[in-house]
Amino acid sequence: MSNAEEDLEYNCPYCMTPISVRVDVTGGRRQAFTIDCENCCRPIEIEAIVESDGTVSIVAKREGEG
Ligand SMILES: [Zn+2]
């Protein structure tokens, strides 16, 4: 059993504030989107990778980096 959505925590790459992000695991194996940090309001590029067993890992990068 698995939920369609996963809540994950990451640290803002600018201010290191822990933020949670919700990923729709049915949305694809690799998803990229940009959100604004709720603390420093800077844009963060999020890459979410959904493994075949439903495990989700995320990478948070500064916009324009890599
Ligand atoms: Zn921030």
Report pLDDT digits (tens) over 6-57.
999 999 999 999 999 999 999 999 999 999 999 999 999 999 999 988 899 9
Residue 23 · residue 9 · CB < 8 Å? no
Residue 32 · residue 16 · CB < 8 Å? no
Q: How far is the CA of 44 from the centre of ligand 1 (A)?
A: 8
Q: Helix, strand, coil % (nearest 5) of the chain?
A: 5, 55, 40
- pLDDT given at position 3: 72
- pLDDT given at position 2: 59
Q: How far is the CA of 51 from the centre of ligand 1 (A)?
A: 27
Domain carrying residue 36:
5-62
Q: How far is the CA of 23 from the centre of ligand 1 (A)?
A: 19
Closest to 44 measured CA to CA, from 16, 23, 25, 24: 16
Q: How far is the CA of 27 from the centre of ligand 1 (A)?
A: 25
Alpha carbon distance 66, 60 (integer Å): 11
- pLDDT given at position 5: 92
Q: Give me the number of domains the chain comprises.
A: 1
